[in-house]
Amino acid sequence: MNKDDFLYPRGRYYGQVKPENLVFNANLQEFAQRISYICNLETNGKLPPGEAYDQIKALWKQLKRAKKELGIGEDPFSGNEGGAE
């Protein structure tokens, strides 16, 4: 088994197969993996709670930005500009 496959496992994607969905799924899995590491470091006292919070907040903003850039959750054929969220 490859070291990276062990450290950063990827789950299979079962949703609607579109490039943007696949990219967002990869981003979401990386987000979850990083959150897990941050939580484990904080739980074991290796990372202060405030720093853990700041890192998680930054990762969340990054994920939201990726979602918006990829147009996930928006209906391009609806009449409204905001999309469905």
pLDDT in tens, 28-59: 999 999 999 999 999 999 999 999 999 999 99
Query: Is 37 within a domain?
Result: yes
- Please tell me the total count of domains within the chain: 1
| pLDDT value for 85 | 46
Task: Let me know if residue 36 belongs to a domain.
Answer: yes
Residue 53 lies in a domain: yes
d(CA 23, CA 37): 21
Taking only the tens place, the pLDDT of each residue in 8-31 is 777 888 888 899 999 999 999 999
Does 14 fall in a domain? Answer: no
pTM: 0.77
Question: Is residue 52 domain-resident?
Answer: yes
Domain ranges, residue 40: 22-70
With tokens 């197969």, the residue in question is 17
Residue 64 lies in a domain: yes
Q: Confirm whether 85 is domain-assigned.
A: no
Whether 49 is in a domain gets the answer yes
